[in-house]
Amino acid sequence: MNYEDTKTKREVLRLELVSLAASVGSQYLLKDISFEVFSSDRITIIGPSGAGKTSLLRLLNRLSQPTSGKIYLENQEYGQIPVIQLRRQVMLVPQEPKLLGMTVRDALAYPLVLKGSTKQEISQQLLQVSEQLHIPEDWLGRTEVQLSVGQRQLVAIARALVIQPKILLLDEPTSALDAGRSDRVMQVLTQCLEGCAVVMVNHQLDLAQMFCDRVLYLQDGRLLSDKTAHQVNWANLRETLIQAEAQAAEEWS
Ligand SMILES: Nc1ncnc2c1ncn2[C@@H]1O[C@H](COP(=O)(O)OP(=O)(O)OP(=O)(O)O)[C@@H](O)[C@H]1O
């Protein structure tokens, strides 16, 4: 990160030597991870299967707790922040989002009801995000079981646009979407989440290259590099990933 960047960007999240073990005494899934996230960052976490990418996002969403080390949201230690409040500010869109029995309309409207928006404001915002993401009106009355995984991913992203968290965590957000929709989603996210930092796990390097301004490379639970998108040699990264995937496949077979 150069001096100009740090002058204009504000630190929102900080990890200090964070490690995670699945259980007491077991092998580490993440080891000594330290990095900062700044407002408006567009970060992609890349690494082979089993590197710990999802485990890291789950830690950041407080679905698990570090075995050691500390995480801070705007200089406040995670443990000091009520979990519901934290998850409103650091929102996770998992690979297979759930609507918890709600219709799409209710899932999108609920955060606005909590904010005290009027019925008219809610209708306007729902219309706006539906148009932005090309969500057809007939989806609004559907529940989770009536939606494909890709459709649920789109609804979860629409929900993020409505909530406008400080940090949005995306776990392969477009894995079930076709290429055209993926590009559209990424464009909308870039345009509509001003001031929000995005931390995304993504296997599609072309999408990462188009969308992110920073790349964290994770392997065997360790953060091996943290570079700006300009510093990344994408062809080398692609090759490193292929080799690491092949090695992991060998170890598992
Ligand atoms: N609750 C758990 N208990 C034990 N091991 C776990 C647990 N969760 C994940 N793991 C292991 O931790 C390692 C990291 O898993 P994780 O899902 O974070 O990797 P990943 O980089 O997201 O992989 P992928 O790209 O395949 O989704 C894997 O070896 C996985 O088997």
- ipTM score here? 0.92
Residue range 55-69, pLDDT digits in tens: 999 999 999 999 999
Domain ranges of the chain: 11-252
Atom 18 of ligand 1 has which residue's CA nearest to it?
A: 52
pLDDT at 2: 45
CA distance 60 to 219: 18
Q: Which two tokens stand for residue 48?
A: 């082979």
Q: Atom 3 of ligand 1 has which residue's CA nearest to it?
A: 22
Whose C-alpha lies nearest to ligand 1, atom 7?
22
Of all residues in the chain, what percent carry a pLDDT higher than 70? 96
Q: Which pLDDT score, from 0 to 100, does residue 253 have?
A: 64
Query: To 10 degrees, the CA torsion angle through 202, 204, 206, 209?
Result: 10
Phi/psi zone of residue 174: left (φ > 0), alpha (ψ -120 to 50 degrees), beta?
alpha
Write the pLDDT tens digit of every residue in 164-220: 899 999 998 877 777 777 877 887 877 777 789 999 998 888 888 888 999 999 999
19, 20, 29, best to mutate for ligand 1 pocket (most atoms within 8 Å of CB): 29
pLDDT, mean of residues 77-105 = 91
Ligand 1 atom 5: the closest Cα is on which residue? 22
CA of 13 to the centre of ligand 1 (A): 23
Convert the pLDDT of each residue in 101-114 to its tens digit: 899 999 999 989 98
Distance from C-alpha of 222 to C-alpha of 225, rounded to nearest angstrom: 9
SS3 per-residue string spanning 45-58? EECCCCCCHHHHHH
Q: How many Cα neighbours within 13 Å face the side chain of 245? A: 11
Split at pLDDT 50, 70, 90, the class of 95 is: confident
Pocket test for ligand 1, best of 27, 45, 55 (most atoms within 8 A of CB): 55
Ligand 1 binding site (Cβ under 6 Å of any ligand atom): 22, 29, 47, 49-55
Higher per-residue confidence, 125 vs 23? 125
Distance 110 CA to ligand 1 centre (A): 32
The tokens for 5 are: 């960047």
Summarised one tens digit per residue, pLDDT across range 138-167 is 899 999 899 988 888 889 989 988 988 999
Q: Which CATH class is domain 11-252?
A: alpha beta
